[in-house]
Structure 1
Amino acid sequence: MPPSSWIGWLLQLSWPALRQQWGRQTLALLAIALGVALATAVQLINSAGLREFDAAARALSGQADLELTAATGALDEALFARLAEREDVLALGPMLEGRAQLLDAQGQPFSLRLLGVDMLQLAQLQPELLPVFDGDRPPDLLADGQLFLNPAALQRLGADLGAKSPAELSLRLQVQGQARSVTLRLAGRTATAGAPLAVLDIAVAQALLGRPGELDRIALRLLPGLDPQAVAAGLALPPGVRARTAAAAEGQAAQLSQAYRVNLGVLSLMALFVGGFLVFAVHTLSVAQRLPQLALLGVLGMSARERAGLVLSEALLLGLLGSLLGLALGIGLAALGLRQLGGDLGAGMLGGMLGGARPQLQLPFVPLLALGSLGLLVSLAAAALPVWGLRRLPAAQVLKGLGADTHPRLPRWLGPGLLLLGGLLSLLPPLHGLALGAYAAMLSLLFGGLAAVPALVDGLRRLLPRRRSALALLIRERAHDQAGEATRMLAGVLVALSLSVAMLVMVGSFRTSLDDWLRDMLPADLFVRNGLRAARQEGLPLPPAFVQRLRASGLAERIAQQRTRELSVAGQPVLMLARELPDDEGRLPLTGALAPRSQLPPIYVNEAMRDQLRLRPGDTLMLELAGQAALAVQVRGVWRDYSRQSPALLIALADYQRWSADTAVTDLMLHLPPGAADMQALQQRLRALAERPEDIELAAAGELRRFSLQLFDRSFAVTYWLQAVALGVGLFGVAASLSAQVLARRREFGLLLHLGFERRALRRMVVAEALLFGAAGAIAGLLLGLAISAVLVWVLNPQSFHWSMDMHVPLTRLGLLMFSVLLASGLTAWWAARAAAGPDALQSVKEDW
């Protein structure tokens, strides 16, 4: 059939009917638009943040094929000289990293990454790091005492706002344990993306950082056609030196935020998923109200296929309009989100990698086309079941006013079977770091819960009091006859409610567990650390003179100390926290059972280290540190570590010092005497003990706890909005379904009025039916939500982020959610019944004749 005929049918047959349902059709359009908009915004923001981070990572690896690093410590410059003699190496790029502190345009300190490179090799290996010059003459790349800043660093200095860049910069850094100030000349800029970065010549960097003869990494570019892995295997590297391909290094960096991005992307689809059930309800009710017209069209010669095509065309048009509106709204939300929250929506997952840089929004055609097609697919899928029913439409029966049940009845075993399958899927291990089994389990639980709604409605019907009254009899029989219809009516709100319950329980459990963890990990009143950072943002030791003066000052009743540094375990870098551990291990945030004590020094590994190295309590490990013999230790237990997703371990400070003879202190934990002076005055006295007070960072335990919880709330702020949108769409869906069903029963109400029913009794009956269905949806949503929250708490979070937590159910919020569903159902039914049982209800009986 030519397209012009379809357009004519849509204008003459569909448009008049859809215009009478403009309210429900508008809700369906908005549901698709909101779902597509949220998915588009999150995808564009995620891709922008990751693209900025990838650009920064590629700038370091450049065109190198291999990258050499040390598991602990630094590389010897002699290795560079030996590699330069190999015939299969085309170019070598030495690199040395450090950190300095610089004051921004507002006088606030910020961390600047220092990168020492061979300026003469940049064009071959790392062209993204090459300085950019605007004048006629290029700068002298090998001059002493100069550096080149990237756009993020210049932005912090105010240069991007039209301010003139300072000719000289004063940097604060720590060299061989001593803080010092250095003045360098700003010679130009580089185009490198990412966090604030300064590029220096390798010789200048070695002298500046006090590390002659040392390198942090070596980039190798091989002759064309050589296999990097084969070359790496034949390098005969010294012990503790690792070789990996540049692609592997970039991929490992991107995996740091992979779980967060995937989880947020799945969460952003929640509104579209819930909206799909609303669209399904709208399509179903639209077809149900037009059954006589569609049956008449069949009698007049329109085939079942053509009638199905007509309904599908309506769904296609609705999906197309919703997708276009959603794409436009999503692009606007993405631009606003990048400007206000950055490339990780304020969660801090990429903040350290991007250093506050705002990624630029890009609009790739293929991803936008795929996102737009989601709305089309949702609308067409939602119309599939009503369209399938049209092909089985008994036209004669419908035209006689006897109705038609064209929807298939689900087998009774389907609901319990899908619920059981969901439980089994949750037992699957992660695949490539993604909890795919958990996602499949939650989807199976959702569909299983939907399939079990008729049985739940029938069970609630049996609990109704068996009064010998017409009203009670009608309510029970209606619930019995329409149990299958309850699934279609409650699908949207059930899915939205269950996901909202699951998110409430998961977020509440996480926040409560984080609060408990902070109390265990912050046992002191005041914490002191060095404001200067190492190359990888590790804490540098505090000046020994400052520590001695603090101990002699008497300002603290007791001072505990901690040493933080990186060491190697099984060839993998691991962050070590050596601190004074309590005698009572119950005061540590441990999870799982403890191993029996052995003669070896005990350590406690975090969950990321346990999962990455596949450790169990009781295992023996060898700790490796540059310049020290390896130390055999026993894995005593596993501790919760919400501050990082990378491997880390706890060890007693005395055990570490006996092994390493390292007496440096990274952090001090001060226990203040009762009735100590006010915290601000005390902090001023503590800073006065340092030679450079600005190099010392002080924070009270309450301040750290408050900051951590604020960061948590900001990280999950987006999930609250997504959850609210999904729940709102679900409530609109149940309201639209209830009102449409009530209005479709006008002839039934007219007949009951003819038989002597009072209008007040009719309204009570409709409200009671709605409350029965609403109670079924609320109970099913609550139970499903608790089941899904168990998957989130005990499967998804441990597999995605290596964070376990204790289950916490926020009863008050859940009660408010249940009440909102019942209230929306009751008010909608009362309003619709009042309209349907109006003065013209008696006349509606004539429609059958």
Structure 2
Amino acid sequence: MLRATLRSFLAHKGRLLLSALAVILSVAFVAGSLIFSDTVTRTFDRLFASTAADVSVEPKDDITSSVPTGAVRTLPASLAGTVAKVPGVASAHADVGAQNITVVNSRNQSVGPTTGASTIASGWNVTDRSPVELTSGHAPQGAGEALLDADTADKKHVRIGDTLTVMAQPGSFRVTVVGIATFKTTNPGTALVFLDQKVAATELLGSPGLATSVSVTAAEGVTDEQLKTRVAAAVGAGPYDVKTADEQAKSAAENLGGFLDVVKYVMLGFAGIAVLVGVFLIVNTFSMLIAQRTRELGLLRALGADRRQVRRSVLTEAVLLGLVGSTLGLAAGIGLAAGLIRLMGTLGMNLKTTEMVVGWVTPVTAYVVGVGVTFVAAYLPARRAAGVSPMAALSDADVAGVGRPLRTRAVVGAVVGALGAAALAGCATASRTATSASLLGLGVVLTLIATVIAGPLLVRPVIRVLGAAFPALFGSIGRMSQRNALRNPRRTGATAAALMVGLALVGGMSVASASMSKSFDEQIDKTLGADFVVQNANFTPFPQEVTDKVRATDGVGLVVRQRFAPLAVRLPDGKRVETTAAGYDDRVDDVAHVTYAAGSAAAALADGAMGMDVDFAENHGVRLGSVLPVWFPGGRTASLRVGALTDQDAAEGYGMQGGLFVGIATVEKYVPGGQDSALYVNAADGTDADALRPRLERTLDAYPQVQVRDQADYKDLVHDQIVVLLYLVYALLGLAIVIAVLGVVNTLALSVVERTREIGLLRAIGLSRRQLRRMIRLESVVIAVFGAVLGLGLGLVWGLCTQRVLALQGMKALAVPWGTIVAVVVGSAVVGVVAALLPALRASRMNVLAAIAHE
């Protein structure tokens, strides 16, 4: 039986090729994501380990927030002298650094990344732990001199002797590039500017007596843990975080981990789609191969092979297919990971790695996925083959499912579909976001399973409608193509299911994204009352001089500043919530249309007060007038009275979790050194807003990172962000379509082999090659459009339910992109034509007499 199985596998290797491609794609994305993640992680682990000091002392970060405020946490530079006297310390020095710095050249062009990674300015301290080394020019000495990293200099065409303007929190200053520094290992994508140490403290922090951290080197024989304990005792653990090199590396790796997780999960999403769609292809392949090998399997049964041996033989072929596909997929995954690393280089993250990290988990996972998918997909066809008696098989009885009743599918599909419909109905009527989202996920899974199960039941009624015009348009050729698609509902349903999965995802996400865009448009129209909003391109804070120059621009009537303040608040229900509050000037109501459920802006923006979203307040027992304890960074505390409760639907984006907002004076008091994140600008009376915009843009010419936006620009910005999500969905669709096309090609190719005698007889009685090709193309088109109709119908239902979840978050508008829907249906017909090209060509080239004599 083993020899027979191996011979069968080799004899049918051509027919298994397309199934192998599905396995290869699935495994490639799984392996590629793991290899890329492991390689980047090891590269950065080496970077962090090689650059981290034995022990570091930093200001304690007691409030975590991902929202930049512009404030730089500092400590006294003299602390380095205190630490240097600790027993076991070989050396200690103060470090100065500031992130989100803007650097421009003499033509006011940005030097450094405008999005993603930030530009960092630091003091130049040469140690063996420095991430860079001086490779050209000399170190900065005194005011007006700076080093630039080589990657940035090369990308932005900066040479030694060029003049740059550095914009920091205290103000702007000019420097001349006197040297180039090169990363020793990996460039994480940042731009680095190095200044003389004392100059850096003055220009970046505002005082030569300040620093941002202290780096400590241990004396010989002293461990990092021992040194950490001694340093902590000397400086006091209260205001400072004292970390070993391992702890510094772990903290840095955790920050990197978020980015890697996004990449990994996106690629695993592609792998999931490939696996899901590939299953249908593999099931169809083995079902059709078993149907074509009925006589062969029956002969094996007649010669003494029992049902278990036949089933085992088919499953062994599936395992062999999985092993071959997994091996090739693993190799493709290595290439995919290498391509991703090169892509990171074009985006500024220059990973200087000479090896790809392939841990034992990667090949194990690759083979588990590849072999597991093919084994599971082939199980039912194998079981069906084993259930046929020898005499039935020898008489060419059908084992592919033609004519077998679909009662079981009908019952199971109806039950699962009813459960899915109930879950989606619950999603649409739920009043809490978490409940609605959970029911949506459950409903999507159940309705997808139900549609796959019940798909063959829908083949005859739907395809009769879709192909109703074929006889009128194409005569007998159209009638035969329609009947061929109806001949085996199971096969047609499984083939269409591959396309249905991808199009259901596109249909649902298209409705959701269109609804989000429309909701944001309505919210911007309803809430934004300012003529213009001035912001950084990457939404980071900007220097005070930007605000001063905007205020001084001719024609500006009102400028309302926005700043952010990380904080933690203790609520009446006992919960301590860490969030970020937005701070505004008093006249915020002149630039934003806010609906107040209780209280007023004046009461919320007053000293010692705050405002919050009414739903958040009700959920935590907060009332108008409640006094809440609040913690700010650096150990600062306050008790703030709730002066206003806002309707979050109207104040979307007013703050972060809870919609908290305070007066800007409160932010300046408790988060000193912060910067403005946005300016809301109104034209002065008698000044036309259209005339004011070019004046503002001229004012901001020296700040290329700062942009002036009106309502239309804001809408475009939101649309662009949503389009990024859609591009990801369309990429998933593209992968699904590739595998779905393989599935249609595979089904048609095997169907041509199965119908060889029939095709020969049709050709013998007068069917031309052109007519034969048209018949197969029409059959392919109707199958593809059937999958599109099922997928889009299901996706529209998902999209409508997703919109109900979004409505609970204030995005209440519903929009259905009918243009996209129609384009997808037309595109699916084109996919059907493309998928039929090779099978139709092969069928038309058959020798008529040989085809008629085919067994």
Distance 2:481 2:131 in 1: 78
Distance 2:536 2:834 in 1: 61
Distance 1:505 1:132 in 2: 52
Is 1:744 the counterpart of 2:744? The answer is: no
Distance 1:530 1:839 in 2: 66
One-letter identity of the residue aligned with 1:501: G
Distance 1:729 1:675 in 2: 56
One-letter identity of the residue aligned with 2:274: A
Is 1:632 the counterpart of 2:635? The answer is: no
Match of 1:352 in 2: none
Match of 2:202 in 1: 207
One-letter identity of the residue aligned with 1:668: L
Deviations 1:488-535 (A, max 9, x none): 34332222332332343344445545555666676545444689x9xx
Deviations 1:68-126 (A, max 9, x none): 42448645538878888888999977554325444569973335312459x59x66xxx
1:343-354 matches, cutoff 5 A: none
Match of 2:384 in 1: 389
Distance 1:825 1:695 in 2: 49
Deviations 1:191-228 (A, max 9, x none): 36321234668655323332354444567899666899
Is 1:249 the counterpart of 2:255? The answer is: no
Distance 1:89 1:731 in 2: 67
Q: How far has the Cα of 1:726 moved from its partner?
A: 0.9
| Alignment equivalent of 1:501, drawn from 481, 497, 507 | 507
SS in 2 for 1:197: strand
| Alignment equivalent of 1:576, drawn from 582, 590, 593 | 582
Residues 338 and 204 of structure 1: is their aligned pair in 2 closer, same or farther, counting only changes over 3 Å?
Answer: same
Match of 2:97 in 1: 97
Match of 2:283 in 1: 280
Match of 2:572 in 1: none
Paired residues of 1:606 and 1:639 also in contact (CA < 8 A)? no
Paired residues of 1:641 and 1:803 also in contact (CA < 8 A)? no
Is 1:682 the counterpart of 2:695? The answer is: yes
One-letter identity of the residue aligned with 1:601: A
Residues 180 and 711 of structure 1: is their aligned pair in 2 closer, same or farther, counting only changes over 3 Å?
Answer: same
**Uncovered stretches (5+) of structure 2, i.e. residues with no partner:** 64-70, 113-118, 570-576
| Alignment equivalent of 2:120, drawn from 71, 94, 113 | 113
Distance 2:646 2:233 in 1: 35
1:652-731 matches, cutoff 5 A: 667-672=678-683, 682-683=695-696, 685-687=698-700, 693-694=702-703, 697-701=706-710, 702=712, 706=716, 709-710=719-720, 713=723, 716-731=726-741
Match of 1:491 in 2: 497
Residues 500 and 31 of structure 1: is their aligned pair in 2 closer, same or farther, counting only changes over 3 Å?
Answer: farther
One-letter identity of the residue aligned with 1:382: A
The number of equivalent residue pairs is 786
One-letter identity of the residue aligned with 2:503: L
SS in 1 for 2:559: strand
Match of 2:450 in 1: 448
Q: How far has the Cα of 1:292 moved from its partner?
A: 1.4
One-letter identity of the residue aligned with 1:378: V
Distance 1:326 1:563 in 2: 51
SS in 1 for 2:820: helix
One-letter identity of the residue aligned with 1:369: P
Residues 102 and 378 of structure 1: is their aligned pair in 2 closer, same or farther, counting only changes over 3 Å?
Answer: same
Instruction: Report the more deviating stretch, 209-218 or 85-94.
Output: 85-94
Paired residues of 2:135 and 2:180 also in contact (CA < 8 A)? no
- The percent identity for this pair of structures is 20
Match of 2:314 in 1: 311
Deviations 1:383-440 (A, max 9, x none): 2222222322312112113323679975655435545666769989x9xxxx999877
Distance 2:236 2:598 in 1: 40
Match of 2:825 in 1: 818
Normalised by the length of structure 2, the TM-score is 0.70
Distance 1:651 1:578 in 2: 8
RMSD: 6.2
Match of 2:373 in 1: 378
Deviations 1:536-557 (A, max 9, x none): 953332367535532xx23x4x
One-letter identity of the residue aligned with 1:395: P
Q: How far has the Cα of 1:721 moved from its partner?
A: 2.8
Residues 657 and 205 of structure 1: is their aligned pair in 2 closer, same or farther, counting only changes over 3 Å?
Answer: closer
Distance 1:465 1:160 in 2: 59
Distance 1:402 1:705 in 2: 63
Paired residues of 2:102 and 2:168 also in contact (CA < 8 A)? no
Deviations 1:127-170 (A, max 9, x none): 3x3664679xx9999x76699868xx321112999x9x627875
**Uncovered stretches (5+) of structure 1, i.e. residues with no partner:** 347-354
Paired residues of 1:604 and 1:637 also in contact (CA < 8 A)? no
One-letter identity of the residue aligned with 1:385: L
Normalised by the length of structure 1, the TM-score is 0.70
1:377-776 matches, cutoff 5 A: 377-404=372-399, 410=408, 412-419=410-417, 442-457=444-459, 482-513=488-519, 524-528=530-534, 537-542=540-545, 546-550=549-553, 553-554=554-555, 556=556, 558-570=557-569, 572=578, 574=580, 576-578=582-584, 583=589, 587=593, 596-597=598-599, 601=604, 621-624=628-631, 629-633=638-642, 636-638=646-648, 651=661, 667-672=678-683, 682-683=695-696, 685-687=698-700, 693-694=702-703, 697-701=706-710, 702=712, 706=716, 709-710=719-720, 713=723, 716-737=726-747, 740-741=750-751, 744=754
Distance 1:573 1:242 in 2: 21
Match of 1:155 in 2: 151
Distance 2:267 2:654 in 1: 21
SS in 2 for 1:539: coil
Paired residues of 1:148 and 1:189 also in contact (CA < 8 A)? no
One-letter identity of the residue aligned with 2:153: L
Distance 2:479 2:156 in 1: 76
1:825-836 matches, cutoff 5 A: none
One-letter identity of the residue aligned with 1:539: F
Instruction: Report the more deviating stretch, 68-77 or 637-646.
Output: 637-646
Paired residues of 2:652 and 2:810 also in contact (CA < 8 A)? yes
Match of 2:270 in 1: 268
SS in 2 for 1:157: helix
Instruction: Report the more deviating stretch, 456-465 or 723-732.
Output: 456-465
Match of 1:193 in 2: 187
Distance 2:337 2:242 in 1: 39
One-letter identity of the residue aligned with 1:381: V
Q: How far has the Cα of 1:291 moved from its partner?
A: 1.3
Instruction: Report the more deviating stretch, 476-485 or 103-112.
Output: 476-485
One-letter identity of the residue aligned with 1:211: S
Paired residues of 1:169 and 1:183 also in contact (CA < 8 A)? yes
